[in-house]
Structure 1
Amino acid sequence: MAATSILFFFLAGLAAAHGSTADDTTTTTTNTIRLPIDGAVAARRRTRPWKCCDNIVRLPERIDPPFWQCDDELEPGQCFRQCEACRDPPGRPFPGRPLICDDVFWGDDPGTSCAPSSEWPWGPCCDIAVCTKSLPPICHCSDEVESCAAACGQCEMVDSWSWRPLFVCRDSFTGDPGPRCTPEMHN
C-alpha cells in the first residue's frame, strides 16, 4: 500500500511538472526566475587583494566572517596589478581613471589604513571622532586608550571604570580624522 501511494504521488508530480494544456500560452522561459547581475562582484577571495585601504566598506550580507570591499580610487595600472576586476567609481561621468577594485575579501580583518600614522596626533585610527562642520573640518578623537600616541601634545588621563588608567589625546587636527579602528558594521 505504501509503495502504491509513493508511486501515485511520484507520477502525479511528473504529470504536473511536464503536462500543459492547449490553453496554456506560457513557456518555460517566462516562468524562469532570473536574478540581476548588475552590481555583482567580480571575485570573492579569502586573501586581501589590497595591501592597505582607507575607504573600507562592509557589504550588507549577514555572514560570519563578513565580506569587505575597498573603495579607494587607484590608478589603472595599480588596480589591475592587485585586483581581478576594476570598475569606474560611481557617479563619474567619464570612464577611465581612477578606478576602484571590484574584488571582495571574505574574512575577519579587512586590513590597515594607507594613511601614515604620523598624520594624526592620536595615531593611525579613531573610533569616536568629533568634528566641526567646517570645510576642512577640525577634528578631535575621544577614544580612551592605554597610552597616547607619541605625536599627541595634550594627553589627558580620564576617569574610567577600568582598573588601569586610560588617556585621551586632546589635540585637534584640521582635516579628515582618519579611519575607524574597528570597521563599521552595517545592519
Structure 2
Amino acid sequence: MMMLVAGFNAAAASRPCSDHTTSTLRLPSTPKLMTKAGVGQPWECCDWVVRDPNFRPTRWQCNDVMAQCSADCRDCVELQGGVGYVCRDWVTSLWQPPVCTPRPWDCCDAAVCDRKLIPDCVCADVVEACPSNCQQCAAVESDDGGAQRYRCLDSFHGYPGPKCSEPWIGKKRN
C-alpha cells in the first residue's frame, strides 16, 4: 500500500505543467453572502433562518414562505393547502444572512418571544440609546445611579436575530 501511494505521489510530482494550468494555489475568499437572488443564491434575505448546528462551515436554510421559489432554488417544496413555496436549499456562509424585514434593534442578548411557529419577540436589553428604527423607546432606571438607560418596547414578528455579545468573549460588538 505504501509503495502505491509513493508511486502515485512521484508520478504526480514529475508530471510537467501544461500551458493551460496555473501553479497558483487559489484559496476561497470571503464568501459573497446573500448576493442578488438569481445570481447563484436561492434567496437574497430571510426572516425565518435556520442554522445547521452539526455542519461546519456554518450553513443556513431559509424557511420563508414565498409565492414562488427563485430560479436558483434546487429544492423547492410546495406547502400543503397551496399557501406558497419554501426553498429548502442550504447556503454555506460564516455570517447569518440579512433579514428582509428590519427589526427594531440591530442585535439582542435578552429576547423574550412567545412560542408560535413564527414568534413575536421583544428585546429586553437595556442600552445607552435606542436604535433609530425603534418606535417605542422607554427610559429605564439605572441600577448604579449612573447615566440614563433605555429599552426598546417594540414587538417584532419573527426571530430576534443575532446576539450583541459573543458568548465566548463576553464583549459587546462595535
TM-score (norm 2): 0.52
Structure 1 ranges of 4+ moved more than 3 A: 45-48, 124-127, 131-134, 137-140, 155-160, 165-168
Taking a change above 3 Å as real, the CA distance of residues 60 and 171 of structure 1, as seen in their structure-2 partners, is closer
Which one of the candidate residues 51, 56, 67 is aligned to 1:58? 51
Which residue matches 1:71? 63
The more displaced of 140-149 and 65-74 is 140-149
What is the CA-CA distance between 1:145 and the residue it aligns to?
A: 3.8
Task: Report the secondary structure of 2:137's partner residue.
Answer: coil
Query: In structure 2, how many angstroms separate the alpha carbons of the residues matched to 1:68 and 1:140?
Result: 23
Whole-angstrom CA distance in 2 between matches of 1:177 and 1:85: 23
Aligned to 1:81: 71
| Aligned: 1:180 with 2:161 | yes
RMSD of aligned alpha carbons: 3.8
Q: Deviations over 1:55-89 (max 9, x none)?
A: 110114242x211111111111xx13342331134
Residue among 132, 138, 142 paired with 2:124 = 142
> 2:71 is paired with a residue of what secondary structure?
helix
Q: 1:128 aligns with which of 110, 113, 126?
A: 110
Percent sequence identity is: 29
**Matched position secondary structure for 1:148:** coil
Question: What is the number of residues matched between the two proteins?
Answer: 122
Q: Which runs of 5+ in 1 are unaligned?
A: 1-44, 183-187
Bigger RCO of structures 1 and 2 (CA < 8 A, at least 6 apart): 1
Q: Which runs of 5+ in 2 are unaligned?
A: 1-30, 35-40, 164-174
The superposition leaves residues 101-139 of structure 1 with CA deviations (integer Å, 9 ceiling, x where unpaired) of 12111111121111134xx3xx255342225679xx885
